[in-house]
Chains A and B, each alone.
Chain A
């Protein structure tokens, strides 16, 4: 086990983590501001990936594909907010779960209807393919490194948006007291649509970026959605900072667990058994992490104290 391998795996974990953050940030923002649990967030991720793959396939430009992903996901988000989600803000969580579950069915099967059951492929752009040499003699795929940088940049941008702009002030005020900011003359329903579209665009961006290293297919959003739920439960629902820390924790735990647990088990087991039980435990690693965090803090690391 060389240090190069360890650093590579840490980078992989970071890359996975920041992509999870893009998903989790939207979810936690939507929950924090509107009090809505949105299962259809994974569908927006899928919409982004499909839009990117379709546009990049036609034009040959990955960059245009990314723009299409952002636009399509934001548009889809704005439409479902105005048609369906808006009616659910005052509804019970059960109704929200069910309605957004229905949206998943509609989005998934609708996409299958349009694009068929076969996965689409989105190629990594020429300029970003191939490895890059990092200090210390580490060769690492340039595209994955770019993903880490994009994720970090988006996290920074989101922080600026929320802490330093007028919209951000309104969003934070909306989390605290929606009646009051409506009374102060902020058009609350426009603000909600905006926040929802912003969250959707982040999900679409994540879908398009990850779509280039995995295949673009129906149902790709739900596993990521559930991981994003784990992230925001760990971080504390409604907290962007919590989502960031939680996403990195989950990304690193999942990646490093899958590689190192079997190695660890080999110290006191024979190789075959260690491989089996190591990977079985590793696949449950993030859920165990979540359980531990909840025993310690039932509302997550940065959640409001109950």
Chain B
């Protein structure tokens, strides 16, 4: 039996909205938090899917942007919380508690860093690209550890969740609503981007650089722009993730997190609109239920992953729709 991908996408979004509402009705706030976690991880992975799925760039260092988003939130909220000034040399601020401002800073900072990392890493391709992005991830990880001003290895705790005008973000369902709305906006943008001339050219650049050059486009520029957009989206997710936990630490930069973001996409289906979303839901569910069964749930996760790679090309969506590739 195979299903149309559009129906699956719709069902997933409805399910993702219905589950927390049901949890609200039955008074299970922890479930809401769990779904919020899945939504935020999905958002980060949608960012990665843009370059991995459409552009074919296997970035093993996307935790960099997740971490930058997290630290953007952590640093701004820390200064607001302690009433200390953040002096940037040319500009002085007291920090902020406002989510929209934090999101903007997280996205801009991630985009700037993505520009420079992309500029360097995109000189290479294939395995070199994988290893270089991994190495950049480690570089930021060690920098965060040695950054004593903002907690170093211990990280930063933020006591009150940042605010959004008109909402009480400490109520789990309201914070979920914010994250879900952002995910929907980004998914909409992703689908528009995918079928735009830019998305089509990027898709072509994944297949053959030479053909893209022949029609007069610069594949390097296309890839760099995609890398920057991708970094900004993952940075936004990082800021939300930090707000969910009210805690930032160098583990947000860890290479395991970069690996997990790739895993999310592969579970769901590479290059599919909802691939990362399905992947994130499955991942968080596995983490929760297997984690209750055994402390060593990573062993089972590993075995499941191996089976997906060896036998199930195309991820879950590929399995359900009966189409292996996303680019048909």
Q: Does A127 contact B (CB under 8 A)?
A: no
- Chain B residues in the interface with A (C-beta under 8 A): 52, 58, 60, 120, 123-124, 126-128, 130-132, 134-136, 138-139, 142-143, 145-148, 255, 259, 262-263, 266, 270, 296-299, 301-303, 305-306, 308-310
Residues A105 and B136 in contact in the complex (CB < 8 Å), given A37-B130, A93-B58: no
Which of A102, A229, A237, A300 is in CB contact (< 8 Å) with B309? A102
Residue of B nearest to A233 (CB): B131
A106 touches B120 (CB 8 A): no
A237 touches B128 (CB 8 A): yes
Residues A290 and B146 in contact in the complex (CB < 8 Å), given A97-B262, A113-B296, A237-B127: no
Binds B, one of A15-23, A143-151, A193-201, A279-287: A279-287
Which of A31, A37, A84 is in CB contact (< 8 Å) with B310? A84
A226 touches B135 (CB 8 A): yes
A279 touches B146 (CB 8 A): yes
Separation of A283 and B153 alpha carbons in the complex (Å)? 14
Which of B128, B132, B139, B255 is in CB contact (< 8 Å) with A284? B139
Residues A283 and B126 in contact in the complex (CB < 8 Å), given A109-B302, A233-B131, A295-B120: no
| Interface residue SS majority, chain B | helix
Seed contacts A276-B148, A299-B124; 13 additional CB < 8 Å A-B pairs: A94-B266, A95-B309, A102-B309, A105-B298, A106-B298, A109-B296, A109-B297, A109-B298, A113-B296, A226-B138, A229-B134, A280-B146, A298-B124
Which of B138, B147, B299, B303 is in CB contact (< 8 Å) with A287? B138
Please, what's the 1-or-0 string for A85-117, where 1 marks a CB less than 8 Å from any CB in chain B? Answer: 001100101110111011111101110110000
Residues A93 and B127 in contact in the complex (CB < 8 Å), given A226-B138, A226-B255, A284-B139: yes
Please, what's the 1-or-0 string for A204-241, where 1 marks a CB less than 8 Å from any CB in chain B? Answer: 00000000000000000010001001101100010000
**Residues of chain B contacted by A154 (CB below 8 angstroms):** none
**Residues of chain A contacted by B297 (CB below 8 angstroms):** 109
Please give the distance in Å from A88's CB to the nearest CB on chain B.
Answer: 8
Separation of A104 and B306 alpha carbons in the complex (Å)? 11
**Residues of chain A contacted by B58 (CB below 8 angstroms):** 93-94, 97
Separation of A273 and B144 alpha carbons in the complex (Å)? 16
Please give the distance in Å from A90's CB to the nearest CB on chain B.
Answer: 12
Separation of A66 and B123 alpha carbons in the complex (Å)? 42
Separation of A84 and B297 alpha carbons in the complex (Å)? 20
A-B contact pairs, 8 of them (CB 8 A): A87-B310, A94-B58, A98-B262, A99-B306, A102-B309, A106-B298, A279-B146, A283-B146
Q: Does A294 contact B (CB under 8 A)?
A: yes
Please give the distance in Å from A112's CB to the nearest CB on chain B.
Answer: 7
B136 touches A287 (CB 8 A): yes
Within 8 A of B (CB), among A232-263: 232-233, 237
**Residues of chain A contacted by B262 (CB below 8 angstroms):** 94, 97-98, 101
Q: Does A168 contact B (CB under 8 A)?
A: no
Separation of A233 and B139 alpha carbons in the complex (Å)? 15
**Residues of chain A contacted by B60 (CB below 8 angstroms):** 97
B303 touches A106 (CB 8 A): yes
Please, what's the 1-or-0 string for A9-41, where 1 marks a CB less than 8 Å from any CB in chain B? Answer: 000000000000000000000010000010000
B309 touches A98 (CB 8 A): yes
Which of A87, A102, A300 is in CB contact (< 8 Å) with B305? A102
A230 touches B296 (CB 8 A): no
Residue of B nearest to A278 (CB): B146
B127 touches A106 (CB 8 A): no
Residues A287 and B124 in contact in the complex (CB < 8 Å), given A84-B306, A98-B263, A113-B296: no
Separation of A98 and B265 alpha carbons in the complex (Å)? 11
**Residues of chain B contacted by A141 (CB below 8 angstroms):** none
Residue among A31, A91, A109, A288 with the most chain B CB within 10 A? Answer: A109
Q: Does A291 contact B (CB under 8 A)?
A: yes
**Residues of chain A contacted by B127 (CB below 8 angstroms):** 31, 37, 93, 237
Please give the distance in Å from B254's CB to the nearest CB on chain A.
Answer: 10
Separation of A102 and B303 alpha carbons in the complex (Å)? 7
Within 8 A of B (CB), among A105-158: 105-106, 108-110, 112-113
**Residues of chain B contacted by A288 (CB below 8 angstroms):** 139
**Residues of chain A contacted by B255 (CB below 8 angstroms):** 222, 226
B130 touches A97 (CB 8 A): yes
